[in-house]
Amino acid sequence: MTTAVLAVTPGPCSLVIAVSIATGMVRGNLILLWATPITDRWGTQHYGRLSALLGAPAMTASALASFAAATLASILGGYPELFGVLAGLAAASAIVATATSVRGRK
């Protein structure tokens, strides 16, 4: 949702900064929520290794995101369009996620 708000917020600069801060807060909370299941499921003994294994793909994507965003923004015509596409992809992902289920364990 915050990505969609970034797509439609043209200014002023203080409002864009406020939305960016809110986006960062949401991301920070999601990181904390992501860490919780690791310790709940596998305990704290190997938390560092497990967290690194689960987080490495996301961190790699984050490292490449700046380059990819600049490239896509120039192709799409600007950052508002880029954030609009990203918000659409997030919405589509949410729809797909709600249409799937987890299989039971044996």
Number of domains, the chain: 1
- 75 assigned to some structural domain: yes
- 105 assigned to some structural domain: no
Name 93's Cβ contacts closer than 8 Å, sequence gap at least 6. none
Domain of residue 91 covers 2-98
- 106 assigned to some structural domain: no
SS3 35: helix
pLDDT tens track for 36-91: 777 777 777 777 787 778 778 878 888 888 889 899 999 999 988 998 998 999 89
- 35 assigned to some structural domain: yes
| b/e sequence 11-23, b meaning 16+ C-beta within 10 Å | eeeeeeeebeeee
pLDDT tens track for 13-32: 899 889 889 888 888 887 77
